[in-house]
Amino acid sequence: MQKRKLGKSNLEVSALGLGCMGMSFSYGPPKDKQEMTSVLRAAVERGITFFDTAEVYGPYLNEELVGEALFPFRGQVVIATKFAYELKPDGSPGWVRLNSRPEHIKQSVEGSLKRLRVDAIDLYYQHRVDPVVPIEDVAGAVKDLIQQGKVKHFGMSEAAAKTIRRAHAVQPVTAVQSEYSLWFREPEKEVLPTLEELGIGFVPYSPLGKGFLTGKIDETTTFDSSDFRNTVPRFTPENRKANQALVDLLQKIAQRKTATPAQIALAWLLAQKACIVPIPGTTKLHRLEENIGAAAVELTTDDLREIESAASKITVQGARYPEHIEQMSGR
Handedness of CA 266, 272, 274, 275 (dihedral sign): negative
Which helix or strand (DSSP H or E) is residue 12 part of? strand 12-14
SS (H, E, C) 78-130: EEEEEECEEECCCCCCCEEEECCCHHHHHHHHHHHHHHHCCCCEEEEEECCCC
57 catalytic, yes or no? yes
Q: Which of 182, 164, 121, 129 is nearest to 7 (CA)?
A: 164
Q: Terminus-to-terminus CA distance in the chain, angstroms?
A: 35
Q: Which of 81, 84, 95, 93 is nearest to 19 (CA)?
A: 81
User: Please, are residues 27 and 98 in contact by the beta-carbon 8 Å criterion?
Assistant: no
DSSP 299: P
**Residue 83 CB-half CA count within 13 A:** 26
Q: Taking the mean position of all CA atoms in its chain, how far away is CA 120?
A: 20
Residue 317 to residues 161, 232, 237, 265, 286, Cα–Cα distance (Å): 25, 11, 11, 18, 30
User: Please, are residues 97 and 86 in contact by the beta-carbon 8 Å criterion?
Assistant: yes
User: Please, are residues 62 and 25 in contact by the beta-carbon 8 Å criterion?
Assistant: yes
57, 85, 125, 180: the active-site residue: 57
Alpha helices in the chain (DSSP H): 33-45, 61-69, 102-116, 135-147, 161-170, 191-198, 237-257, 261-272, 285-293, 301-311, 323-326
Residues with a known catalytic role: 57
